[in-house]
Structure 1
């Protein structure tokens, strides 16, 4: 299927890269300027900013409560942004949609970013908040049944790595993982996956841009050969929580997400992989205003709540 016409329209308006070095401060400011005003966001029962006290330190979090209820399943959400972009504000709409469509309380993590924070600071923050959420179960009205981790792009990388950290740490509380077009292999060999060449140019995220965008992370202690940096390199995936992996047809990272799902299945993990036709990398964060892509949040709800998905076969 060709790229969705609305995505194509947006892509045509984006200027081509001029080859100048990436400026994290300027790029973050540009992202912040695009955050919609509060009155234009999805209303929920409650949204609260607080600090999670973790073994990694004090981590800012934003807690989204969809409705007034006696108890909730929990989702710890890790935003994308190539490890150096993204924030609680830039991905506020994603967290709100997750809460609304799953009925779960969402805890969005303001983890430390590269290059200011070297590896494994952001990952340690993310895992620390998962443990904090479990420890704060009574205060959060956790139902004691569902504790999911979810993330998009580099946040999907963190979500996958966090499940492995939990297994190694003997923490069995994580019940589900939801990975939206995850970045799981930071060895950017263009011949490693067919999608790296098939979707190399013209779809927003370009194969040639992967190295410079991820350099802030990789040049600050993150080794692509480390399974905590490239989760797909983990040899033993058994015992990890059940997974929902949503990939995009026109994404250089498509094949690594789908291979990870296949490897989870081979390791005995219940894993569902769904490729969204006509979509590009970032479709959940950037194009969820299109009904066919907003459906990803409902699919996440079906996955967590054990209900049949309404997605096309």
Structure 2
């Protein structure tokens, strides 16, 4: 029996298959107000028609200056909720569940007049405005901004929330020894900022809603942290309320000499390590667009879910086509059944 089309359930989340569309920035906001538009509506709904089990909406920021660019999504105002609610409602019509990734770009906010970060350390090798360090009071206020964004996501009807703690964005900046040189409580305990966000978000989401956290298992910058460090941080995040880890890597700076080759499934060993060490469900990601590689990742119990990004950008119906290839059967929307042939 194929694993790709096997159901998955955790708390109140029930997925029809193990295929995840991961968050991928579209840089397509019209008026720089952070509100999704018709592009986002078609983009996400088409992947629901295409059979994905779970869609995670792209990096959505907790304040305007927290965006990578001014064309990114935001969820800092109640006025933004209806546009998300419209997407969620339509995605649900096709049996797909949908989450949203809540984040802050920190020192990687390209269009912010003054980016902020854990510390005043610029991104090496990048032509970005150097950040200033958030004050302790500002850090505590930032935690509330994550909490309020999560509240809005619940009001919009999302099935799950993912916190972005990977790829060099703000939560990552706090738990990275190479980026955080603070001398206050958030420097003494590198997990504290993330833990406080997790606890704040859990306080406003339903108990049955799983909370996902995306994390870079290793850094690729010179002197960056390794797997042992990320696992120790993740243990604290799990204790604070994370149910699922979405395991990626790098993204914090131009890579040094430690990045592995971009071969198929190159990040799967990290997902396996998290699954074994933490005994929680994990999402594997990274060049899994070959259906048989994705199937093997699940069948070998390296991960519980597989996220396919570029494959779904290339083919909105990647999930249906992958299940057809691997399982030799598929259940498309009724409107498309005349076009499905299984040999």
Q: State if a TM-score over 0.5 links the two structures.
A: no
TM-score (norm. length: structure 2): 0.34
